[in-house]
Amino acid sequence: MTNILLCCSAGMSTSLLVTKMQHAATERNIDSKIWAVSVDEVEQHINAADVLLLGPQIKFLRGEIEPLANGIPLGVIPMRDYGTLNGGKVLEFALSLLDK
């Protein structure tokens, strides 16, 4: 199972994206857990994640969040994919971070 954690400013704006990503994972037979939390909650969830994706609106916090990730792959969701709620592309992005 691949555990993908999304983080945004309040945890709300990524909830629709999580649904789209879950749908894309199901279509591709990818066993995954995908969930979103606010930046204030990320520290409590990071140890359960295989990869952490930041919403583009909080990319400026990457330097603060990266030490919490403790080596877990971390990336900023591309603005275009985030804005269009392209769950398939964001899922591919998350999986590509795991392959590095």
Cβ atoms 5, 35 nearer than 8 A: yes
Please report the pLDDT score of residue 11 as a whole number.
61
The catalytic position among 8, 49, 52, 65 is 8
Q: Set out the domains of the chain in order of their start, with CATH numbers.
A: 2-99 (3.40.50.2300)
Report how far residue 92's alpha carbon sits from residue 4's, in angstroms, rounded to the nearest whole number. Answer: 11
Using one digit for the tens of pLDDT, what is the confidence trace for 58-92?
999 999 999 999 899 999 999 999 999 999 999 99
Q: Running DSSP on this structure, what letter comes out for residue 84?
A: T
Report how far residue 32's alpha carbon sits from residue 1's, in angstroms, rounded to the nearest whole number. Answer: 5
Report how far residue 94's alpha carbon sits from residue 100's, in angstroms, rounded to the nearest whole number. Answer: 11
How many other C-beta atoms lie within 10 A of the C-beta of residue 60?
Answer: 10
Q: Is 8 a catalytic residue?
A: yes
Using one digit for the tens of pLDDT, what is the confidence trace for 8-66?
987 667 889 999 999 999 999 999 999 999 999 999 999 999 999 999 999 999 999 99
Q: What are phi and psi of 76, to 5 degrees?
A: -100, 125
Work out the pLDDT band at 99, boundaries 50, 70, 90.
confident
Report how far residue 30's alpha carbon sits from residue 58's, in angstroms, rounded to the nearest whole number. Answer: 27
